[in-house]
Amino acid sequence: MPVDTTLPYDDQNIFAKILRGEIPNRTVYEDEWALAFHDINPQAPIHILVIPKGAYVSWDDFSAKASEAEIAGFIRAVGHVAREQGLVAPGYRLLANAGINSHQEVPHLHVHLFGGKALGPMLLR
Ligand code: 5GP
């Protein structure tokens, strides 16, 4: 179910629990600013979620309220993971759902990183 990302941050969301180590995940990268882990229901051969460590509901929340250091750290982490996964030469896709119409399901900002095959044109059904 999509979530209302205009609501305050809910620290019981699944990614908050992953950040606190309460739920296991398959981590591919972690630093001061971000955690990257395999999506539990992959939509491509490589499907990684990159999340900021801070409590931000959505791209909107993050872009409005995060510090310069948090934003830089998060964006650099996404790029780092893509390079580390060998995705620069073959190419990859980034996606961040934001809010009801996008069908964002987890109310903690996350960027999907897809790769590992030719993904084709982006289709919105
Ligand atoms: P959204 O629709 O919010 O953009 O994407 C949420 C993503 O989180 C989905 O791709 C879903 O498979 C993934 N997901 C949901 N729960 C878990 C979980 O407990 N662990 C992991 N690794 N991924 C999850």
User: Could you tell me which residues come within 8 angstroms of residue 41 by beta carbon, excluding any fewer than 6 positions away?
Assistant: none
**Which neighbouring-strand residues pair with 30?**
35
Give the tens place of pLDDT for each residue, 37-93: 999 999 999 999 999 999 999 999 999 999 999 999 999 999 999 999 999 999 999
Please tell me the predicted confidence (pLDDT) of residue 125.
72
- Interval between CA 114 and ligand 1 midpoint (Å): 13
Pocket test for ligand 1, best of 40, 51, 101, 108 (most atoms within 8 A of CB): 40
pTM: 0.98
Does the annotation mark 38 as catalytic?
Answer: no
User: Could you tell me which residues come within 8 angstroms of residue 70 by beta carbon, excluding any fewer than 6 positions away?
Assistant: 33, 52, 54, 62
Here the tokens at position 22 are: 């309460």
- The secondary structure of residue 121, as a DSSP letter, is S
Give the whole-angstrom CA distance, residue 3 versus residue 113: 21
The one catalytic residue among 103, 108, 110, 112: 110
Please tell me the predicted confidence (pLDDT) of residue 39.
98
Give the tens place of pLDDT for each residue, 89-115: 999 999 999 999 999 999 999 999 999
Give the whole-angstrom CA distance, residue 71 versus residue 98: 17
- The secondary structure of residue 55, as a DSSP letter, is -
- Return the SS3 of 103: coil
